[in-house]
Amino acid sequence: MATSVIEFLAAEGRSAANIHARMKTVYGEMCISDCAVRKWVRIFKGENPRETILRDRKRSGRPLSASVAAHQEKVDCTIRANRRVKQKEIANAVGISKERVHHIVTTVLGYRKVSARWVPRQLTVEMKA
């Protein structure tokens, strides 16, 4: 929240000292330090204020590889071969974490457990009754 105030006032052309003084009158003792205000003003004035984005930008790093289509197919084939298989067994067979197996099984493939068996979520209300 404070960064939005700093961004707005910096876009108006206010100095860091002026911004900190205004924030101090509003927030009192809960206000961020003068050093932090100066840092944010430097960041916002370094770029075009209209194009500044406060959200995280994409970063380089390890891509998500556990939910790729190849793993989804392996998980689906394993479940179709043995509907009583456990998520831990699937994780060991495919070589991914139990959390990713749970995500693939429930969210991507749409299975759920019924009487210790994986069943596709295609049952209607009448069929369930």
pLDDT in tens, the chain (129 residues): 678 888 888 888 889 999 999 999 988 888 889 998 998 888 887 755 555 566 666 667 766 677 788 899 999 999 999 988 999 999 999 999 899 999 999 888 888 887 677 777 766 777 776
What's the rounded Cα separation, in Å, for the pair 83 and 92?
Answer: 16
Phi/psi region, residue 66 (left: phi>0; alpha: psi -120 to 50; beta: rest), is: alpha
Note the pTM of the prediction, 2 decimals: 0.45
Query: Cα 67 to chain center, whole Å?
Result: 15
Geometric angle at alpha carbon 95, from 90 and 98, rounded to 5°: 55
CB atoms within 10 A of CB 114: 12
